Structure 1
Amino acid sequence: MPVTLRTRGAAAAVLITAFGLGLGGCDALDPTNLFAEKYKPEVVQDTPADKLYSEGLAKIEDSDYEGAVKKFDSLDKQYAYSDWSRRALLMTAYANYEGQKYDDAITASKRYLQRHPASKDAAYAQYLMAMSQYKQIPDVTRDQDRSEKALVALQELVQKYPTSEYSTDAKAKIQITRDQLAGKEMEVGRYYLERRNFPAAINRFRDVVSKYQTTRHAEEALERLTEAYMALGIVAEAQNSAAVLGHNFPDSPWYKDAHALLQNGGLEPREEKGSFLSKIYTSVMGRTAAAQ
């Protein structure tokens, strides 16, 4: 029999009805239906804190610092705000430091100090942060932003935790860092001196003397000041620089050079007691004597 629009419509109605019944049956699942999905929520048990901590330490022992960080991060998240979390955060900083991921170590150390500023391990967190900056100090020919940050962090350690076991090492590294910063200033000053830009050179050498007068670069800075002032014809300042150099570093080869330079011009070192340089070294020597 030919299929007409009417018969097609009837057939469609039957299909729609059947499909609708099927959908209705899905809405009310029969628990006895073998095809029905049975939802069983999965319960994930937290790994015991001490186990995670031990696993993290084991990773460190194996020099798997990245794996250790993952363990300690997991411990921090699962047991947030607990003592385990505090210990995990400190070990995260340590593992990153040992793995030479210094920026990550700095971040973890800062977080530790923000959360636990009064902790018995706060000094160690500060030390890790300072050392992470210190390890990234570049050679003297490059920008010294890392050196500046290392100096600040090391000084904070000494100031905030003066009796900590890390204070002595921090003081030694402060001197090394200051020497590095002075070296950079000297490099720039010599650059200007060679190009006969004497005012710019003088500014750099004065910075060394005023900021880093206890470093090994101070002697050369005073001699270079003598050179630059003589080149500009500022005789009194040249004599004063050489005199301060001779008074504080009488056996220095730099003093011999400065003295010879003045003698070639028929001059002798002469210190002006109220001068900028004289005041600096009077103050430095006074602090040194008081410390002793």
Structure 2
Amino acid sequence: MKKIKCLILIILSLFIFSCSKKEQINQSTIKEKNLQSQVLETFIEGKEALDGGDVLFAAKKFTEVQVMFPQSIWAPQSNLMAAYAYYSQDYYLDATEELKIFLKKYPKHSNVDYAYYLMAICYYEQIVDEKKDLNSVLKSKENFEIVIDKFPNTDYAQDSKFKLEFVMDILASKEMYLGRYYLKKKKWIAAINRFKTILEEYDTTIYIEEALHRLVEVHYLIGLKEEAKKYASVLGYNYESSQWYENTYALFDKKYEINQKKFLKENKKKSKFTSKIKSLLKLDE
């Protein structure tokens, strides 16, 4: 009899434990469903605010999603949406901070290509000119190159290539600006180094022809005529029809330079004579 009572007690205990466990699971499932519902509602609030132009409230809502349920599929999406919300109103610092968080937390996410691209664009749109701080230029270059290297078959890569050309022109213009300055100050070695940097790192930019000419000019001025001729031949081979080649040729051919000035002077006289004739003809009419 005692054995039967003990058995019944064990079975009852197991039954109560089982029911309790099921109840806990059900409560946990309900709580999770409620949390998912709240997260989705908050995300939708953020999206509606963004569409309505209230970017700060939108970013706040997207941040709430990340805090409420960081394991949900909405968390990384909210992270990106917050970054875009800030970017859309030129809050570039806030946008890049959100993107840094995203790239650190979700390095293998399917939208990581977009994150790098948006990061590059944030820096790209802060570029002023080559005389200002180069941080934005260098950061945009770094991120555009990541997009091109890691995601070559995306639309982001195509646009990154286009914008990277402009970035490289800016960096080359900075080197050219400094090179001209050192040339003017007769700091020959510093000038040569700047012009060589353009040849080595920015050879596809619009400054390559001038850089070659300046290297000819500097070496000619300091008496290294053979070195000057070497750069002149490279310029002539690749850009024979350019104005910079004509300027280079004038360094070696003083007669050519005199003839050019004479031609320009005569051409100017002819131009004035022609304009006088035209004005007389108009009066006759």
- In the alignment, which residue of structure 2 is the partner of 1:114? 104
- In the alignment, which residue of structure 1 is the partner of 2:141? 151
- In the alignment, which residue of structure 2 is the partner of 1:180? 170
Task: Check conservation: 1:158, 1:171, Cα contact below 8 A.
Answer: yes
Task: Check conservation: 1:73, 1:92, Cα contact below 8 A.
Answer: yes
SS in 1 for 2:253: helix
- In the alignment, which residue of structure 2 is the partner of 1:72? 62
Which residue of 222, 225, 235 maps to 1:232?
Answer: 222
Alignment map for 1:181-260 (pairs within 5 Å): 181-260=171-250
Distance 2:39 2:70 in 1: 11
Distance 2:60 2:39 in 1: 14
TM-score, normalised on structure 1?
A: 0.73
- The one-letter code of the counterpart of 1:117 is P
Q: Which runs of 5+ in 1 are unaligned?
A: 1-44, 267-292
- The one-letter code of the counterpart of 1:72 is F
- In the alignment, which residue of structure 2 is the partner of 1:128? 118
Distance 2:244 2:46 in 1: 55
Distance 2:112 2:103 in 1: 6
Matched, 1:95 2:85: yes
- The one-letter code of the counterpart of 2:92 is Y
Task: Check conservation: 1:94, 1:105, Cα contact below 8 A.
Answer: yes
- The one-letter code of the counterpart of 2:183 is L
- The one-letter code of the counterpart of 1:148 is L
Matched, 1:141 2:131: yes
Q: Which runs of 5+ in 2 are unaligned?
A: 1-33, 257-285
Distance 1:70 1:84 in 2: 14
SS in 2 for 1:140: coil
Task: Check conservation: 1:73, 1:89, Cα contact below 8 A.
Answer: yes
Q: CA RMSD in A?
A: 1.6
Task: Check conservation: 1:147, 1:177, Cα contact below 8 A.
Answer: yes
Structure number, greater radius of gyration: 1
Determine what percentage of the aligned residue pairs are the same residue: 36
Task: Check conservation: 1:178, 1:215, Cα contact below 8 A.
Answer: yes
More helix by share: 2
- In the alignment, which residue of structure 2 is the partner of 1:169? 159
- In the alignment, which residue of structure 1 is the partner of 2:21? none
Alignment map for 1:47-58 (pairs within 5 Å): 48-58=38-48
TM-score, normalised on structure 2?
A: 0.75
Runs (4 or more) in structure 1 with deviation over 4 Å come to none
